[in-house]
Structure 1
Amino acid sequence: MTFSQEPIQERIVPTDLRNEMSRSYLEYAMSVIVGRALPDARDGLKPVHRRILYAMHELGLMHDRPFRKCARVVGEVLGKYHPHGDTAVYDALVRMAQDFSMRHPLINGHGNFGSIDNDPPAAMRYTECRLQALTNNALLQDIESDTVDFTDNFDGSQQEPLVLPARVPQLLLNGSSGIAVGMATNIPPHNLGELLDGVVALIRNPDISNSELMQYIPGPDFPTGGQILGTSGIREAYTTGRGSITMRGVATIETIEHRGRPDRDAIIVTELPYQTNKAALIEKIAELVNERRLEGIADIRDESDRDGMRIVIELRRDAYPRVVLNNLYKQTPLQANFGVNMLALVNGEPQTIGLKQALQVFLDFRVETITRRTRYELRKAEERDHVLQGYLIALRNLDAIIDLIRHAADAPTARQELIETYGLSDVQADAILQMQLRRLTALEAEKIQQEHEDLQLKIADLRDILAKRERILQIIETEAAALKSSYANPRRTAIERADGELVDTDLIANEQAIILVTEQGYIKRMPVSTFEAQSRATRGKAATRMKEDDGIEHFLTCCDHDNVLFFSDRGVAYCLKAYQIPTGSRTARGTPIVQMLPISHEEKITSVVSVTEFADEEYLVMLTQKGFIKKTQLSAFSNIRANGLIAISLEEGDQLRWVRLARVEDSIIIGSRLGMAIHFRATDEQLRPLGRPTRGVKAMALKKNDELISMDILPSQVVASIAEGDEADADSESEELEAECNTQGPWALVITMGGLGKRVPITQFRLQNRAGMGLRSIKFRKANDRLASLRIVNEDDEIILVTSRGIIIRQAVKAISCQSRAATGVRVQRLDDDDAIVAVALVPPTTEGAEGAEGAEVEE
């Protein structure tokens, strides 16, 4: 047998070696970049991770199903989607299950999955796994609803998703690291709640800057905790996509007791920088000690257990603990740098992206997935409704159709006659022929009609969603809120100010300011100098431009460097720096507070307090509408998360209304709408300290139709001069009144809604026990007048009166007459017939170099 072969010269293609190597290497490089090493900016996953999660989803390994062997999962991934080594797949699976590698692990591992000491995981035949609930609900949800594109696998036998329909910005949530050809990525993990807050902020303000986004996402949040030093590296990384973040472990200095020998100081390490090997760190410290490059350490041991990490570095008796700790930071991995390189695939191309662009890519992708899901649901609903319309036609002509089918020669004939006689489609005719006899009952017919009507409403709603981008964005917000409430947890990594670093407050003058919030939720900041002092009983001038149905709700004086705490009626505390609140002129309406704080439309800010420092000896005294009062240490609110912090536990129907700063030596005075006032000490005997999620105790007994309207704090210097006991008689009271009015205060400033006011010596309000009815603070001149505010003031103070129509007047306290509790007061502000005083804010005297000012708020 002979074979004809073409000449070998004709089968050789001459080519230039330089061009061939260049082309082949570029193809290989792009294959590594796109197919292995870099994550997609939409779902934040590399192909191997995406294939593992999708294979587990196909196997039904949900969070509420039993665990399966990892070898089973690895085999599924290798055989169907990822034709590479089993080690690569298993290593990727293991990392997604490690809580010290992922901020929110995507896989729930059962067995030995390694440790922070770099111990290897057990073999895949021993370990088991399943998906986490977050993975099911935030990455794989709706994947069957045509939300993403699918493509053939390596041999064309299966379909795999090009991207997962992620509901969270997974690229930033768990970060990513990888080395491609000629490029690399290294993205740090972040806090889920903060990321979702950032997405919502981007939805509400598409022009938001990276600096403004950092109010919601202050920096990375590593799974191992630790500290981040400074914000300059974070800001650079978020702006340019590249930067260096300094990480530091958490260490404290303690005294270790020893039996029979003197106590020694020790450095206790409880948290390590991200990706730091604990065993290697201990080995490095021991090596430096042996080489005498690190002095002052007597012993080092690892006391970590299931309750947490604890590395004990025992010091010599002559060592200076702070010096040793600084040397540990300098010479060991206890302080390390994280080189941020936010490189990801955007539209299939590697791009270096910043914080806003990363969130924008995710948001655009989310809009696309919801649009596709809605189209899929609309198509399914229309197809089902089409069948139901055929059923309804059949039910209206039931006897005739039964007779038609009965006399038809065969099914195709019956089908054709149905189409021709009743104008049905092929699908409707087939559905009628397949209809079961039980569907012909009256009850089943009613169900078909009801399902048709429900589908009509659903179809209209789905079409409305597709027609309005605003509804799609609202759906994203709703889904983000649900995920946040279910899966978000507090930040683990603290962001500390670096030595010598300039922060925003270093660049902003610390001037006195007025912060004003309206009833419809607008907020703005104005310099106190905007309102010059005026004489008593004048009309004042408008503080802000408002709609007719709007009014002043809260009013605060503070300094620009102060922390401003906002308390909502639901008992949640939020925090902003005063200078972060946008400034506005008197005629400006302000900024919607929902753009500044993550509050819902149903939530309302009821109290505002300014804090210069979160001192341990100070307390926040809180009073609810139903009269429950409690005090909580101020330091408990020093680290308020971006999404707020629970301040008080409320019973059904109650609201948090007033919050004030106080010390344990101070006293509390509370006023009611009918002019009653109770005065009691803030000591632990009268008001013991309670934690944040507690309700408190009863503050005051109220008459029928009365309600609480104000609370203020009396400083400790004055409390000692006030007697406890029975009320003085009227004669002695009048004899002492003139002398008391000539003092420099303090006084109780009593202001009515009708514009009358007076100063009452505080000594006329004797100290009582909590939960009493109190004493009368004013006699109303008009029967329909009511108390607007009861505040503690001094001689040099000034007050700002605010009316419901936004009129403001500023005047000196000493211009208001001093009278007894039984007096009716004098005119402090002239009001129109339809106006009333709703707020009284205190402006302390301005002093040179003053660092802060006490806060004040509206008393409704």
Structure 2
Amino acid sequence: METKQENIVRTDYSEIMQKSYIDYAMSVIISRALPDVRDGLKPVQRRTLYDMYELGIRYDRPYRKCARIVGDTMGKYHPHGDSSIYEALVVMAQEFKKGKTLVDGHGNFGSIEGDGAAAMRYTEARLEKLTQEVFLEDLDKNVVDFVPNFDETEKEPSVLPVKIPNLLVNGAEGIAVGMATSIPPHNLGEVIDAVKAYMKDNQISVRGLMRYIKGPDFPTGGIVVNKDDLCKIYETGTGKLRIRGRVTTKKLKGGKKQLVITEIPYTMLGANIGKFLNDVASLVETKKTTDIVDISNQSSKEGIRIVLELKKDTDVENLTNMLYKKTRLEDTFGVNILAVADGRPETLSLKQVIEHHVDFLFEVTTRKYKTLLGRELEKQEVQEGLIKACDVIDLIIEILRGSKNREQVKKCLVEGNTEGIRFKTKTSEKAAKKLQFTEKQATAILDMRLYKLIGLEIEALQAEYEQTMNNIALYKDILDHYDSMAEVIIKELDAIKKEYSTKRRTSVENAEEAVYEEKKMEETEVCFLMDRFGYMKLIDKNAYERNKEAACSENRYVFTCMNTDKICLFTDSGKLHTIKAVDIPLVRFRDKGTPADNLSNYDSAAEQILYVASVSQIKNDTLLFVTKTSMCKLVEGREFDVAKRTIASTKLAPGDELIFVGSAGEMEQVVLQSAGGSFLRFLKQEVSTMKKTSIGVRGMRLAEGDHLEHAYLLGGHQEYTITFRDRPYVLNKVRLAKRDTKGVRPRV
């Protein structure tokens, strides 16, 4: 018995990974994430629209359940899960996302404020008239290639014969592998005008095309404020648009004003509307502005309407500029015109997009008229046969009556074969032998009904023949001459523009950078309180004076500072967290404070606060840092006046942690206490003043396995008593020694 030989192919692992990853990446790029430049559709969109067309869900027919459409599309063409298909269907039906909706949705298809669509079992849909007439027409005329579906049981179009540059009209968004596309929507009428201009002069520049396409036209309206950058964006295919919402001022009785936002930037769609409202509320809460009295979102199906109630003497222009600067009322839209062109991803300029589409239009139109010409030539052949048959109808009837079967008649009509046919006269037989109809003509004659021999029917046949000949001449002219074909395409584009174009919604202009003057905060002295649980608050200084004793007994840190100051939190992990005093709520004395976690990057679960002070307190002071492994250093307080919310206050060796941070400015001595009960007292001058980025110098020489537990700062004549082993112990009695020596164990 023969043993089967195995061929082991040795390949470098990285080579296999590279090939597999590139194959995967290209599959995602071409088959899922990026639109085709010709029809501006991703595969999932194309397949969904074609499936609706095949199911007969036309614009003039009843709606059908979306679940039916999704299931059919997934089963026949797109085996990638129902959620992606339904999501694509929903987006094509949302007028606030698309320049032109391609699907007519019935039911809850989501809202501009980010509400999701209802489940597909509840919603219904059908094709829009535009989709049917501009995207799917002529599919029966062999205008595009059909390819096998995933299991080769069906055929699907490789591209739809779209008559407009849908990539520009509806835009596109998609994230592939290593690349992403982001194309803004444009105005249909302007895009058609640009296509016509290119067809008349294919040497036209991008700037020339921009005489027709003013810029993006977002369904949410708004204002594009960097008009001068558009030319470069359209020339390179990449860049950033700056979009603002549309704001109007309304004067009310009593001198009050309202700021009404009626259009929003396209990037604010969905949940970002809620974020904008929260951002405005935050500006009010943090007192960045005191001009806004109330915010209300009055948006509905009719459109966006966000109303800000203002105080009487509000500087509206300054407030509007503040909203542009501090919220998403002004935002950027990143443009990257990336699409699949000639089977590969390519970043395209405006002119290249139109160029690719016009080439596609001519290809589709050529294939359409070749198919129509073929059909007309077939009709011509049949009609000529029928006209010729009418002239010799008596002979044909005689052949029919004298024949035994259909094949005998057909042979006689095509080849003049009279064998087996009985004729009344030799003349008839002689005439029959001269007949030379084609196969198609003979079949048409045999299928012809007797009523066609009526005089009026014969005249109608003659008229049809003349019409066929005119059509053949017309189609040949279109196929043979560029100008004739261009005229046909332009005529179709004009008809589409007339029926479907709408007014531009987005304004395009040059606007200056939004500049606003921040109102200077009135500087006042307040009192900072922080309890042992890490809750902090500010109270009025007068309230503190009235409750001084309670404030000091109930809180771990109590000090006065200005409301313009910053609070510094030093933690055992060696971090410094800063909080602006203005961000800490100013409350009544008995009100609960806010956790430090909520106001800074401090994490109470991972670190402990060792020392709290204001920047103004430590700016002219010196701080002592002591670590668990007995590293010490002095750092000038001005090093901690920083802009960042969190920095490293000191450098720690691996496994080390801070045990003490304190103000050393007026102190003279340092006392270190170890976990083993050793104490070391030495002069502060022995500790070097260093930068915050240094580790420090050794304080006490520790026994093996021992570590520092506490550190204390002593004044010159101050007596400092602690509890050690349940007894009072005066630190001043510890023998004064040198730094970097062993400590002493007290007799208690």
**TM-score normalised by length of structure 1:** 0.56
2:4 is aligned with what amino acid? Answer: E
Q: Offset of 1:389 from its aligned partner?
A: 1.4
Match of 2:109 among 110, 113, 128: 113
Residue of structure 2 equivalent to 1:514: none
Q: Offset of 1:476 from its aligned partner?
A: 1.4
Q: Offset of 1:267 from its aligned partner?
A: 1.3
Residue of structure 2 equivalent to 1:52: 48
Kept in 1: contact 2:267–2:331 (CA 8 A): no
Q: Offset of 1:38 from its aligned partner?
A: 0.8
Following the alignment from structure 1 to structure 2, what is the Cα–Cα distance between the partners of residues 163 and 235? 30
**Secondary structure in 2 matching 1:253:** strand
Residue of structure 2 equivalent to 1:718: none
1:59 is aligned with what amino acid? Answer: L
Residue of structure 2 equivalent to 1:139: 135
Within 5 A, what are the aligned runs for 1:517-532?
none
Matched, 1:379 2:356: no
Q: Offset of 1:442 from its aligned partner?
A: 2.0
**Secondary structure in 2 matching 1:483:** helix
Match of 2:4 among 3, 6, 19: 6
Following the alignment from structure 1 to structure 2, what is the Cα–Cα distance between the partners of residues 233 and 62? 42
Following the alignment from structure 2 to structure 1, what is the Cα–Cα distance between the partners of residues 502 and 374? 38
Q: Offset of 1:176 from its aligned partner?
A: 0.4
Residue of structure 2 equivalent to 1:426: 439
Matched, 1:274 2:272: no
**Secondary structure in 1 matching 2:93:** coil
Q: Offset of 1:253 from its aligned partner?
A: 2.0
Match of 1:455 among 468, 471, 482: 468
Residue of structure 1 equivalent to 2:177: 181
Residue of structure 1 equivalent to 2:148: 152
Residue of structure 1 equivalent to 2:317: 322
Output one character per residue of 1:61-120: Cα deviation in whole Å (capped at 9) or x when no partner.
Answer: 221111111111111111111001100000000000001000111111111111111001
Change (3 A) 1:4 1:77: farther
Q: Offset of 1:186 from its aligned partner?
A: 0.4
Following the alignment from structure 2 to structure 1, what is the Cα–Cα distance between the partners of residues 237 and 445? 61
Residue of structure 1 equivalent to 2:459: 446
CA-atom RMSD, angstroms?
1.7
Matched, 1:489 2:487: no
Within 5 A, what are the aligned runs for 1:315-394?
315-317=310-312, 319-394=314-389
Kept in 2: contact 1:101–1:275 (CA 8 A): no
**Secondary structure in 1 matching 2:340:** strand
Match of 1:197 among 184, 193, 212: 193
Q: Offset of 1:11 from its aligned partner?
A: 5.5
Within 5 A, what are the aligned runs for 1:651-670?
none
Identity %: 45
Following the alignment from structure 1 to structure 2, what is the Cα–Cα distance between the partners of residues 75 and 458? 42
Following the alignment from structure 2 to structure 1, what is the Cα–Cα distance between the partners of residues 39 and 52? 17
Residue of structure 2 equivalent to 1:412: 407
Output one character per residue of 1:549-582: Cα deviation in whole Å (capped at 9) or x when no partner.
Answer: xxxxxxxxxxxxxxxxxxxxxxxxxxxxxxxxxx
**Secondary structure in 2 matching 1:109:** strand
Output one character per residue of 1:739-795: Cα deviation in whole Å (capped at 9) or x when no partner.
Answer: xxxxxxxxxxxxxxxxxxxxxxxxxxxxxxxxxxxxxxxxxxxxxxxxxxxxxxxxx
Matched, 1:299 2:276: no
Within 5 A, what are the aligned runs for 1:786-805?
none
Following the alignment from structure 1 to structure 2, what is the Cα–Cα distance between the partners of residues 4 and 157? 40
Output one character per residue of 1:624-651: Cα deviation in whole Å (capped at 9) or x when no partner.
Answer: xxxxxxxxxxxxxxxxxxxxxxxxxxxx
Following the alignment from structure 2 to structure 1, what is the Cα–Cα distance between the partners of residues 445 and 457? 14
Kept in 2: contact 1:385–1:455 (CA 8 A): yes
Q: Which moved more, 1:396-405 or 1:85-94?
A: 396-405
Residue of structure 2 equivalent to 1:739: none
Following the alignment from structure 1 to structure 2, what is the Cα–Cα distance between the partners of residues 335 and 100? 18
Following the alignment from structure 2 to structure 1, what is the Cα–Cα distance between the partners of residues 191 and 25? 32
Output one character per residue of 1:309-340: Cα deviation in whole Å (capped at 9) or x when no partner.
Answer: 21011224454222221111011111111111
Residue of structure 2 equivalent to 1:128: 124
Following the alignment from structure 1 to structure 2, what is the Cα–Cα distance between the partners of residues 233 and 71? 44
Q: Number of residues paired by the alignment?
A: 493
Kept in 2: contact 1:295–1:324 (CA 8 A): no
Following the alignment from structure 2 to structure 1, what is the Cα–Cα distance between the partners of residues 397 and 248? 86
Following the alignment from structure 2 to structure 1, what is the Cα–Cα distance between the partners of residues 313 and 441? 92
Match of 1:313 among 303, 308, 311: 308
Kept in 2: contact 1:153–1:160 (CA 8 A): yes
1:212 is aligned with what amino acid? Answer: G
Q: Offset of 1:449 from its aligned partner?
A: 1.6
Q: Offset of 1:296 from its aligned partner?
A: 2.8
Structure 1 regions of 5+ residues with no counterpart? 502-860
Within 5 A, what are the aligned runs for 1:638-717?
none
2:439 is aligned with what amino acid? Answer: D
Following the alignment from structure 2 to structure 1, what is the Cα–Cα distance between the partners of residues 461 and 11? 71
Q: Which moved more, 1:369-378 or 1:446-455?
A: 446-455
Matched, 1:283 2:296: no
Q: Which moved more, 1:112-121 or 1:447-456?
A: 447-456
Q: Offset of 1:26 from its aligned partner?
A: 0.7
1:265 is aligned with what amino acid? Answer: K
Match of 2:251 among 255, 270, 275: 255
Residue of structure 2 equivalent to 1:403: 398
Match of 2:256 among 264, 268, 276: 264
Kept in 2: contact 1:237–1:243 (CA 8 A): yes
2:437 is aligned with what amino acid? Answer: L
Following the alignment from structure 2 to structure 1, what is the Cα–Cα distance between the partners of residues 109 and 360? 33
Change (3 A) 1:256 1:12: farther
Following the alignment from structure 1 to structure 2, what is the Cα–Cα distance between the partners of residues 82 and 367? 29
Following the alignment from structure 1 to structure 2, what is the Cα–Cα distance between the partners of residues 371 and 294? 64
Matched, 1:472 2:493: no
Following the alignment from structure 1 to structure 2, what is the Cα–Cα distance between the partners of residues 103 and 366? 21
**Secondary structure in 2 matching 1:164:** coil
Matched, 1:38 2:40: no
2:143 is aligned with what amino acid? Answer: T
Within 5 A, what are the aligned runs for 1:800-815?
none
**Secondary structure in 2 matching 1:96:** helix
Change (3 A) 1:226 1:5: farther
Following the alignment from structure 1 to structure 2, what is the Cα–Cα distance between the partners of residues 359 and 122? 37
2:15 is aligned with what amino acid? Answer: N
1:244 is aligned with what amino acid? Answer: K
Kept in 2: contact 1:97–1:107 (CA 8 A): yes
Kept in 1: contact 2:267–2:333 (CA 8 A): no
Following the alignment from structure 2 to structure 1, what is the Cα–Cα distance between the partners of residues 302 and 413? 73
Following the alignment from structure 2 to structure 1, what is the Cα–Cα distance between the partners of residues 288 and 170? 37
Following the alignment from structure 2 to structure 1, what is the Cα–Cα distance between the partners of residues 290 and 203? 54
1:44 is aligned with what amino acid? Answer: G
Residue of structure 2 equivalent to 1:531: none
Residue of structure 2 equivalent to 1:101: 97
Following the alignment from structure 1 to structure 2, what is the Cα–Cα distance between the partners of residues 124 and 229? 39
2:459 is aligned with what amino acid? Answer: E
Name the structure where helix makes up a greater proportion of residues.
Answer: 2
Kept in 2: contact 1:48–1:82 (CA 8 A): yes
Q: Offset of 1:140 from its aligned partner?
A: 1.0
Q: Offset of 1:410 from its aligned partner?
A: 1.5
Within 5 A, what are the aligned runs for 1:585-600?
none
Q: Offset of 1:14 from its aligned partner?
A: 2.9
Residue of structure 2 equivalent to 1:644: none
Structure 1 segments, 4+ long, off by >4 Å, are none
Output one character per residue of 1:432-472: Cα deviation in whole Å (capped at 9) or x when no partner.
Answer: 11111222222222221221111111101111111100011
Structure 2 regions of 5+ residues with no counterpart? 417-434, 515-748
**Secondary structure in 2 matching 1:254:** strand
